Structure 1
Amino acid sequence: MTTVTAPAETPTPVPARAPAAAPRRLTPGRIVLVASLAVAALYFLLPVYWLAIASTKSTDKLYSSFGLWFADPRWWSNLGNVFSYDHHVYLRWALNSALYAGVGSVLATLLSAAAGFALAKYRFRGREAVFKVILAGVLLPYTALVLPLYLMFSELGLVNTYWSVLIPGLASPFGVYLCRIYAESAVSDNLLEAARVDGANEARIFFGLVLRIMSPALVTVFLFQFVHNWNNYFLPLVMLSDDRKYPVTLGLTTWQTAADRVPELTQYTIGGAFVSVIPLAVAMLVLQRYWRTGLTEGSVKE
């Protein structure tokens, strides 16, 4: 009788572990770099820290206590006073800033994306001349354009309206420049041709395909424009005379100016300034992941 022996099982190879990364040595150059970054972070964060601490103090404690630590904190009551003063005018200013910065930045980003994509992927006469004019707009100081804008809007009857602040915020020459540079490198001509062969029209290509590919650049444009419009001061100062249409920046200035007559307005101004920083911080924290996804895009060749 013949005995059949089962073949021996081949042992599964165990993958070798990757060698542990050696700890990085603290070279003099690395120490200088870390120290420089720490100083820069301290330089930018210290005013925000002081603002957060000062917003918890009473008007008297602002000048009689140590500026970088709490003294009889009253954050909630101070915040309530900021929001309730003068028939909740601060809330009105905050909504105005949200309108100018939020709506204006979204529309400015879409316009920049459309203009940048057109300049990058369409061939038409005068394309380079248009792009050079846009580059010249990047170099022009914004304050130099306020007076011509005021004269033009005065002729149109739009002075002291929301449009007088919202419409100028739609223009972003830097956004157009950035979108063109990004579209040239990220949007493939073959991809566009394939979409056209499949029957997609230009609007569908732009809104359904191009905007998704350009999302890292668009987030950058949106944040730059949002910060610019939120902190805009000189244009509303020239255009607006009704304090109910003021943004937060201009409204807080009126409070600070009136603090000589009403001393508690100094504290309200500090509290309002602290609250006005929060939307910028939130926007940066929420949108930074889109930056991370676009940092290495195109760095690996398939």
Structure 2
Amino acid sequence: MAIENPLTSDESDTEEQAYSTTSEHIERLAKYSTKTTIAFIAVLTGFPLYYLLIASTYPQGGLGTFPPQLLPSGHAIENYTFLLTETIFPGTLLNSVIYAGGTTLGMLIISAPAGYALAKIDFRGSTTMLIIVLVMMAIPFQLMSIPLFEMAVNWGLINTYFGAIITSVTIPLAVFFVKQNAEQVLHDDLLDSARVNGASEFQVFKNIVLPLLWPALIAISMYIFITRMQSYYWPLIILRNEDVMVAQVWISIWEGGIETPTPFHRILPASVIIVLPLLITFLLGQKYFVKGLTGGSIKG
């Protein structure tokens, strides 16, 4: 005895259409919810930067007004002109760039071959070297700053760019980061093939390793440059004279003793000038930054 289908074909089509419509509505709602959440997070994280920018245009005492102003005032030219022409801020900013750029360049010279060697070259003591790198990553820089400062004093490196840079270029995090990326993006068959064809280790490193590690090197360079531009502790100790003082140290000294009350209408423009180049650098290199960060975590 045949069992009749309780639903006709028209009813089945109607149910399928209803199910399809409901699924589309759910997907559309999830899509809009995701976009709304991302937009909210973007506004939430971007508002402090926006307020810093407009606050740098306030006159003296402008930050104390209530309700706070959300639009720029007419004192921007005055504030920025005074900062750039009546203070030593431009020189201190140049000192920050020299310190951060020199440290980043030195870090690349050391970390790129060191990370590659730890990842792909089997040599005696490689395990010990890796353990030393990991241990150094766990030691706070404040503990190492005492012997570093004594060394700088004995060698006459205080208040010199070379002294500040040479004591900051050895960065265990950078070595480990390059090592992790090298293990993922450099295949042994490719390296062995180059060696079989007569390439020296220097040629292998120059023509194969560096191009493949380029995203990782850009990522770690951006990170080190940004952190060194905002560095305060070590430059405060080793770069004391005004002719070599970095911007972060100068701002803190100026904030504490030049005017009463604290001259925020002078300090905030300096903060904007320091932050904007770092933000632009990140936005221009974010593709390489993300690629470099993910290169060491995904098996290629």
TM-score range, shorter chain: 0.7 to 0.9
Letter in 1 for 2:200: N
Counterpart Cα distance in 2 of 1:186 and 1:98: 31
> Cα 1:119–1:288, aligned 2, differ >3 Å: closer, same or farther?
same
What is residue 275 of structure 1 aligned with on the other side?
A: 273
Pairwise CA distance, 1:34: 5.9
> Cα 1:68–1:121, aligned 2, differ >3 Å: closer, same or farther?
farther
What is residue 177 of structure 1 aligned with on the other side?
A: 176
Aligned with 2:159: secondary structure? coil
Counterpart Cα distance in 2 of 1:199 and 1:175: 30
Alignment of 1:38-77 (within 5 A): 40-64=41-65, 66-70=67-71, 72-77=73-78
What is residue 264 of structure 2 aligned with on the other side?
A: 266
1:26 aligns with 2:29: yes
Aligned with 2:70: secondary structure? coil
Pairwise CA distance, 1:119: 0.4
| 1:153-202 Cα shifts (integer Å, max 9, x gaps) | 11111112112221132122111111111111111111112222333222
1:99 aligns with 2:98: yes
Q: Which runs of 5+ in 1 are unaligned?
A: 1-21
Count of residue pairs brought into register by the alignment: 276
Kindly indicate whether the alpha-carbon contact (under 8 Å) linking 1:53 and 1:70 is maintained by their aligned counterparts in 2. Answer: yes
| 1:243-269 Cα shifts (integer Å, max 9, x gaps) | 1211111111111112434x5843221
Aligned with 1:244: secondary structure? coil
Pairwise CA distance, 1:270: 0.8
Counterpart Cα distance in 1 of 2:86 and 2:236: 22
Pairwise CA distance, 1:61: 2.2
User: Could you tell me which of 287, 290, 299 is aligned with 1:289?
Assistant: 287
Counterpart Cα distance in 2 of 1:56 and 1:228: 26
TM-score (norm 1): 0.81
What is residue 168 of structure 1 aligned with on the other side?
A: 167
Pairwise CA distance, 1:133: 0.9
1:251 aligns with 2:250: yes
Aligned with 1:191: secondary structure? helix
Counterpart Cα distance in 2 of 1:292 and 1:206: 23
| 1:47-72 Cα shifts (integer Å, max 9, x gaps) | 21221011111113232364341353
Kindly indicate whether the alpha-carbon contact (under 8 Å) linking 2:157 and 2:164 is maintained by their aligned counterparts in 1. Answer: no
Counterpart Cα distance in 2 of 1:264 and 1:84: 19
Q: Which runs of 5+ in 2 are unaligned?
A: 1-23
Counterpart Cα distance in 1 of 2:69 and 2:143: 38
Kindly indicate whether the alpha-carbon contact (under 8 Å) linking 2:55 and 2:72 is maintained by their aligned counterparts in 1. Answer: no
> Cα 1:91–1:74, aligned 2, differ >3 Å: closer, same or farther?
same
Letter in 2 for 1:178: F
TM-score (norm 2): 0.82
Counterpart Cα distance in 2 of 1:155 and 1:297: 40
